[in-house]
Structure 1
Amino acid sequence: MNLKKLFYKLAAAGALAAAGALAAAVQANAATELTVYTAFEAEDLKRYAGEFENANPDIKVNWVRDSTGIVTAKLLAEKSNPQADVVWGLAATSLLVLKGEGMLQPYAPAGLEALSPKFRDADAVPSWIGLDAWVAGICVNTVEAEKLGLPMPSSWEDLTKPVYRGHLIMPNPNSSGTGFLDVSSWLQMFGEEKGWDYMDRLHTNISRYTHSGSKPCKLTATGETPIGISFAYQGAKLKKKGAPLELVFPREGMGWDMEAAAIVKGTDKLDAAKKLLDFAASRKANEMYNQGYAVVAIPGVAQPVEFYPENPESLMIDNDFVWAAGNRDAILTEWQRRYDSKSEAK
């Protein structure tokens, strides 16, 4: 072989080796893609996603967002062929249902010991962790209420009075986590028989049921309805923006649920999924949750939220999440049989 041919052969071999090394480096540095299902409010998701992705540039997240009921139904429908790697920002009652179906991967995230015991699965290695608590509340448009001569309610029972007929909206519990926490909390507060009786009387005054938990308060803020049963965070946020809203925290107590997170069993991105759970349990994340939620998973982190009561935890009912999750299907079936005629079109 002459020198010229030898030179070209060595050059080609070197190029191939360099290309192989470059491909290996690119593959090593390529972002791991995670599919994350969530029911976070859109504006919250934007903040949370930005913080996580900035801290973990090696992970690319494909977000799939919808209301609580829709996300829960999607996960259950995909049980035999899971499409999600992680759930971040879904009601704890929904995650308890998924746990019961054997769909969650137990994992103890870094910092687990800092979480309040009520903000985590009770197992030694938890299948889910809580993030923050969102509580029920009533949004009243003070301008529209005055026009219509509606008194300011102070209790759940007040909302069944004839004066409010046709002036209330609330979320459908089949599609909204807020709607489900309302219904399950009334059944716990009043007892099942009296709880359904209460909802029968309330139904008389409902103009329609929405498929979003935040929508009743949003529509109240714009004056499209005088009163919306929603959740307190949404009302406080809209009031801060200048909406003519009064937030009512009913004296019987407030239903609540936790936004929670878990790894979906069977994911082949387990290391990246664990990083997301570590972040979700972190103090940094809890400080983010506290921008809108007055109660978060790590005690001592939460600062007061404007327009909330001074001690919101004192108004939160003793919610039996296991009972609510175990009876979820029966509750939703009965609710739909009784009241779905007033649900808005999907």
Structure 2
Amino acid sequence: MTKTSILCMTVAASALFANAALAETELTVYTSVEAEDLARYAETFNQDHPDIKINWVRDSTGVITAKLLAEKNNPQADVVWGLAATSLLVLKAEDMLAPYAPAGLDKLSANFKDSDTPPSWVGMDAWVAAICYNTVEGGKLGMTAPTSWMDLTKPEYAGHVVMPNPASSGTGFLDVSSWLQIFGEDKGWEYMDGLHANIAAYTHSGSKPCKMAAAGETVIGVSFAFRGAKSKAEGAPIDIIVPSEGVGWDMEATAIIAGTAEEEAAKTLLDWTITPKAMEMYNVGYAVVGIPGIAKPVEHFPEGITEAMIDNDFEWAANNRTKILEEWTKRYDTKSEPKG
């Protein structure tokens, strides 16, 4: 064998080992981030950390939360990147999260991080409830646009309202938990009884009701404001309505699962999820992000919505999650779409 051949083999072997090292660490990451965004999230992260491969496990908020709880004694995830803070508080109460103070924590808004030191989770972005109203379909039926949550119980809207199921959708849960806070528990359930009479279907996706309204498949979709703004920017004939009583909201948040065998890589990911670069990435899909001053204005995002966000008691919502969902399911689940 010539010296040239040996040199070529050595170079090839070195390149092979280098490439193997670059993708040596894999993280199993559970998420409820919109499926269309996952490739972009991983690609942007890998620009800075090409040595960590993300294996996504994605489903709706309720399904991911239930899956994590079912795996409590045999965790399969290393990190949760993009799950409702109310869900992470449930996991925290079960001692399933590994407290960690990521680099840059001091730059986050106070309400975008767990109150403990070190925190068990950190926030990414917030999504805010809103009503998507199809002006064309509503006009055909001689309807007037609602201005409040209470308006949705009016007889004229019977069969023309779609909203998310709170057991499967984080948006649905923030709706229900916020109504119980806005109206009080007794009046809140009374309100939902009236609303249920007008519901055509409960979806298992928080964005679907607005997409249905945008497509003219329903007149009213209870969803979140950014989805409405995106649909309107695409030409949909919808108004995005901020109900006068105030609106519920939740934040997507990130945490390390206790007991992960890839702790250092998990910490690297958590550090990155609250960087300005990550916040700019979230701003593509959300108008409110965890670091103040980064979010750029979003076309058609309704004015005054941040002022309408209620003082959401996340601890109360998390501590009462099981009870709320059991009661809701008992009362209303008959109108839920089939799962699958």
User: Is the structural similarity TM-score above 0.5?
Assistant: yes
Deviation of the 1:29 alpha carbon: 4.1
Deviation of the 1:288 alpha carbon: 1.5
1:195 aligns to 2:195 (yes or no): no
1:149 aligns to 2:142 (yes or no): yes
Alignment correspondent of 2:316: 323
Match for 2:114 among 118, 121, 126?
121
Deviation of the 1:280 alpha carbon: 0.6
Using a 3 Å threshold, how does the CA distance of structure 1 residues 147 and 25 change in structure 2: closer, same or farther? Answer: closer
Deviation of the 1:19 alpha carbon: 11
Task: Provide the secondary structure at the position in 2 that maps to 1:104.
Answer: coil
Match for 2:300 among 300, 307, 316?
307
Deviation of the 1:193 alpha carbon: 0.3
Equivalent pair of 1:304/1:310 in contact (CA under 8 Å) = no
Larger Rg belongs to: 1
Deviation digits for residues 133-175 of structure 1 (CA, Å, limit 9, x no counterpart): 1000101111111111111111001100000001101000000
Task: Provide the secondary structure at the position in 1 that maps to 2:322.
Answer: helix
| Correspondence list, 1:1-346, <5 A | 28-346=21-339
Q: Please tell me the residue identity of whatever aligns with 2:261.
A: D
In the alignment, the residues of structure 2 paired with residue 217 and residue 46 of structure 1 have an alpha-carbon distance, to the nearest angstrom, of 23
Q: Please tell me the residue identity of whatever aligns with 1:120.
A: K
Using a 3 Å threshold, how does the CA distance of structure 1 residues 18 and 52 change in structure 2: closer, same or farther? Answer: closer
Task: Provide the secondary structure at the position in 1 that maps to 2:47.
Answer: helix
Task: Provide the secondary structure at the position in 2 that maps to 1:105.
Answer: coil
Task: Provide TM-score, normalisation by structure 2.
Answer: 0.94
Task: Provide the secondary structure at the position in 1 that maps to 2:54.
Answer: strand
In the alignment, the residues of structure 2 paired with residue 130 and residue 25 of structure 1 have an alpha-carbon distance, to the nearest angstrom, of 35
Deviation digits for residues 270-316 of structure 1 (CA, Å, limit 9, x no counterpart): 11111111111101111111223221111111222111234432110
Number of aligned pairs?
Answer: 333
Using a 3 Å threshold, how does the CA distance of structure 1 residues 265 and 223 change in structure 2: closer, same or farther? Answer: same
In the alignment, the residues of structure 2 paired with residue 121 and residue 212 of structure 1 have an alpha-carbon distance, to the nearest angstrom, of 26
Equivalent pair of 2:23/2:50 in contact (CA under 8 Å) = no
Equivalent pair of 1:294/1:312 in contact (CA under 8 Å) = no
Deviation of the 1:18 alpha carbon: 11
Alignment correspondent of 1:11: none
Task: Provide TM-score, normalisation by structure 1.
Answer: 0.92
In the alignment, the residues of structure 2 paired with residue 294 and residue 252 of structure 1 have an alpha-carbon distance, to the nearest angstrom, of 21
Deviation digits for residues 1-42 of structure 1 (CA, Å, limit 9, x no counterpart): xxxxxxx9xxxxxxxx99998987666444211110110112
In the alignment, the residues of structure 2 paired with residue 26 and residue 228 of structure 1 have an alpha-carbon distance, to the nearest angstrom, of 48
In the alignment, the residues of structure 1 paired with residue 298 and residue 19 of structure 2 have an alpha-carbon distance, to the nearest angstrom, of 45
Deviation of the 1:50 alpha carbon: 1.4
In the alignment, the residues of structure 2 paired with residue 232 and residue 18 of structure 1 have an alpha-carbon distance, to the nearest angstrom, of 54
Deviation of the 1:55 alpha carbon: 1.7
Equivalent pair of 1:93/1:322 in contact (CA under 8 Å) = yes
Gaps of 5+ in 1: 1-7, 9-16
In the alignment, the residues of structure 1 paired with residue 12 and residue 234 of structure 2 have an alpha-carbon distance, to the nearest angstrom, of 56
Gaps of 5+ in 2: 2-9
Identical aligned residues as a percent: 67
In the alignment, the residues of structure 1 paired with residue 125 and residue 92 of structure 2 have an alpha-carbon distance, to the nearest angstrom, of 19
In the alignment, the residues of structure 2 paired with residue 21 and residue 286 of structure 1 have an alpha-carbon distance, to the nearest angstrom, of 37
In the alignment, the residues of structure 2 paired with residue 244 and residue 18 of structure 1 have an alpha-carbon distance, to the nearest angstrom, of 60
In the alignment, the residues of structure 2 paired with residue 71 and residue 133 of structure 1 have an alpha-carbon distance, to the nearest angstrom, of 18
Deviation digits for residues 80-106 of structure 1 (CA, Å, limit 9, x no counterpart): 111110000100000000000000011
Using a 3 Å threshold, how does the CA distance of structure 1 residues 161 and 120 change in structure 2: closer, same or farther? Answer: same
In the alignment, the residues of structure 2 paired with residue 293 and residue 19 of structure 1 have an alpha-carbon distance, to the nearest angstrom, of 45
Using a 3 Å threshold, how does the CA distance of structure 1 residues 150 and 110 change in structure 2: closer, same or farther? Answer: same
Deviation digits for residues 239-285 of structure 1 (CA, Å, limit 9, x no counterpart): 11111111111011110000000001111111111111111110111
In the alignment, the residues of structure 2 paired with residue 138 and residue 226 of structure 1 have an alpha-carbon distance, to the nearest angstrom, of 10
Task: Provide the secondary structure at the position in 1 that maps to 2:33.
Answer: coil
Q: Please tell me the residue identity of whatever aligns with 1:158.
A: D
Using a 3 Å threshold, how does the CA distance of structure 1 residues 103 and 158 change in structure 2: closer, same or farther? Answer: same
